[in-house]
Amino acid sequence: MKIIGIVTHNNSGGAQKAMAKLQTECSNKAIDFGVIYLYGDSQDTSMKNGIFLADKQSFVLVRYLVSVVKLIQYLVHQKPDAVICFLPLANLLGALSAWLVGIPNRLISHRNPVSSYQPILRWCDRLIGATPVYTAVICNSNAVKDSLSRYAKSYQKKIRIVYNCVESIQQTGRTLTIRQQLNLPKQNKMILSVGRLEHQKNYHFALNVLTQVNQANLVIAGHGSLLSELEDYAAQLGVSDRVTFLGAQPSDKVRTLLGECDLYIQTSTFEGQSNALLEAMASACPIVSSDIAAQREVLTDSNQAEIGVLLTLESAQNWAREINKLLFDSHRLKHLSESSFARSQSFTPSAMAEGFLAALAEARI
């Protein structure tokens, strides 16, 4: 079998990393699996598993036109048996292009609730998905599936749930190297959050929480458009000396951070299924997260027991109160750490790959 994975752009986001893991797992099964990005930045070399078709810096209409033309040419030349598309624009353009050139299997994947999409993309997806253009639709959580509940029956019958995955992370002793490099006070606890500096991740709320947390520093790993705004807000709140913005970090550095932190927090307003959360679990981090559907789905085990602390986003004071209690409760931290790691073993790369391949097999019947 020959598969082409199509992703909208080549930054190092969760969808891109999930596609790379899917590519690796399928390649290990002797499946020819290539990846292309509709557009990309030549200066961003974080994703080296594929090629991009158009320059991100080009005028938007030119970028999209070049992407479609080159995509059709590429698919005609490669003649894959299937395409698997990630992210809204790639879902539409990838599936339509594959349908036009006669590729029989056209699987698209929603990585976030569709309510987060731009209206034009959401409308087009809803319309095209009700036709035979999509042969299968993958949602990475029940929360994402639920966001499609008002779509046509012809769309909904194509839906399958395939969870994201996380690679097993070898547990090692804490070295405290990162703390020393960041000059964190020895007496302070290290709270970590990983994610893009965008509104979805709700870091303004996290900073508000930090103002009321005692003896702790917040370290944020991720880049994004809100960096300057968040730095200014931290200064306004008087916590600049207790927050560190690291920018985007390579995977090995993120794993080191996860291994050394005392607590992992995630204040997102919405998620599809967070790769950063899965990585924190695989690193045995105690977790405090926003109580949203996608996070609750992951942070609840098969017995419906919560394996992390789930809090609504109504009160930063409530978050701070819970974190202050937790940071100095070694017994509870140990329990959450063990539960977090155990739950992470449910989300393996092989299970994700099998899910996608099963969806392709069903679509061919």
Secondary structure class of 343 (helix, strand, coil): helix
pLDDT reported for residue 58? 84
Q: What is the rounded CA–CA span in Å between residue 32 and residue 30?
A: 6
Low pLDDT (below 50) residues in the chain = none
Q: Quick one: pLDDT at residue 171? A: 61
Q: Among 157, 173, 165, which residue's Cα sits nearest to residue 353?
A: 165
Give pairs for 290-297: CB < 8 Å, separation 24+. 290/202, 290/266, 292/143, 292/268, 293/141, 293/142, 293/143, 293/146, 294/113, 294/141, 294/143, 294/144, 294/270, 295/266, 295/268, 295/271, 297/141, 297/142, 297/143, 297/273
Burial class (CB in 10 A: 0-12, 13-18, 19+), 157: exposed
Q: Which two tokens stand for residue 211?
A: 């103002």
Query: What's 225's DSSP letter?
Result: T
pLDDT score at 175: 65
Alpha carbons 139 and 147: distance in angstroms, whole number: 10
pLDDT digits (tens, 9 = 90+) for 246-290: 998 988 899 999 999 999 999 999 998 999 999 999 999 999 999
* β-strand pairing of 159-161 with 32-40: unpaired
Domains and CATH numbers, the chain: 2-165+348-364 (3.40.50.2000), 177-344 (3.40.50.2000)
Rounded to two decimals, the pTM is: 0.85
pLDDT of residue 12: 75
Is the backbone of residue 87 left (phi > 0), alpha (psi -120 to 50) or beta?
left
The CA distance from 152 to 154, in Å, is: 5
Structure confidence at residue 174 (pLDDT): 64
Please tell me what DSSP assigns to residue 300: B
- CA-closest candidate to residue 78, choices 130, 32, 129: 32
d(CA 293, CA 312): 11
Per residue in 170-222, pLDDT (tens digit) is 666 666 678 888 999 989 999 999 999 999 999 999 999 999 999 999 999 99
